Amino acid sequence: MLTEEDRGFLLLHCLYFTSFLHLPGTSEEVAPPLQQSFMIPKKEINMVSDMAKWKRSQAYADYMGFILTLNEGVRGKKLTCEYKVSEPIEKLVALLNTLDRWIDETPPVDQPSRFGNKAFRTWYAKLDQEAEKLVATVIPKHLAAAAPEVAVYLKESVGNSTRIDYGTGHEAAFAAFLCCLCKIGVLRVDDQMAIVFKVFNSNYKLLKRKILFLVVENTFSALGSLPDHPNLEPRHFVDEKVVNENHKDFMFLECILFITEMKTGPFAEHSNQLWNISAVPSWSKVNQGLIRMYKAECLEKFPVIQHFKFGSLLPIQPVTS
């Protein structure tokens, strides 16, 4: 459940996103060119005092509006439910499948260090070279000028090729990548469920592959929560039997399953924060708390946001509404 502040924010941005997303049935052939000058996104947050610019920016407002809209759009829904899958969604999944296939073509390097396998740099170099072409397969021809700008967020979303790691900032870049596709009209209002259940889920599977096969050190966040399920309560997600029986229905439980497979020892020790969340009385409270935590521990942390890049689609300029 969202706070009143978040609901007000969400309402404004549902209206905002509806205003610039193409309506269902709009033909690519007759769609007019987007009247916008695109640019390569760049760093704007260089010191802690710059964080005030970020929190006042149009980028922050659009990003949070996007996240909250998706959050509401999948409430009460299972991964296994029926939903519309548009052509752009299918193309995005194909893009992620291409990145997954490249993992098979990039075997880990035999090296003494457990973490930071150098094969990841080979995999990343291929993406760096092909990113614009990959994005161009998703974007229609009349929006081709946007590809270089949008491709930056795709490259930023897969992890750091120098440190060979993955964290919440890379998660944010992937959400920004999809937000940009919404802003130029590639993704539409009725794609909300597919964005989460198809695209985010495919990206999560890709992340697991990178961790397992390219040994990428990770600090990703298991954000998300179940709807107000009549039988499953927050206390149940630390129950191995419950997780095994229900993980195919809920992304949150899929994350929990992966954590238990990757880590050893008591859950309360290796994932103490999640263990604490299991004591929350309802899923609506969990959802509300995770959104608040995401803002505080990710979007308002300089070490994370200093790497975020700003362009014409997610501008650093103050919000105009």
* 215 DSSP β-pair partners: none
Q: What is the pLDDT of residue 20?
A: 40
Residue pair 73/82 in contact by the 8 Å Cβ criterion: no
Note down pLDDT in tens along the chain; length 321 residues.
Answer: 455 554 444 444 444 444 444 433 333 433 444 567 999 999 999 999 999 999 999 999 999 999 999 988 888 788 889 999 999 999 999 999 999 999 999 988 888 766 688 999 999 999 999 999 999 999 999 999 999 999 999 999 999 999 888 888 999 999 999 999 999 999 998 999 999 999 999 999 999 888 877 776 665 454 555 555 667 888 998 999 999 999 898 888 888 898 888 888 898 898 888 899 899 988 888 888 888 999 998 999 999 999 999 999 999 999 876
pLDDT of residue 226: 55
Q: Residue 107: its pLDDT value, please?
A: 86
Model pLDDT, residue 13: 46
User: Residues 6 or more apart from 150 whose CB is under 8 A from it?
Assistant: 135, 139, 177, 180, 181, 184, 313
Beta-bridge partner residues of 309: 43
| Cα–Cα distance measured from residue 26 to residue 188, given in angstroms and rounded to the nearest whole number | 10
Chain-centroid distance, C-alpha 221: 10
Q: What is the pLDDT of residue 27?
A: 36
At 19 the pLDDT is 40
Enter the pTM of the model. Answer: 0.86
What is the predicted pLDDT for the residue at 252?
A: 86
Specify whether the CB–CB gap between 152 and 309 falls below 8 A: yes
Q: What is residue 140's predicted lDDT score, i.e. its pLDDT?
A: 95
- Where would I find the beta strands (DSSP E) of the chain? 42-43, 165-166, 217-218, 309-310
Break the chain into its structural domains and give their ranges. 11-16+38-223+302-310
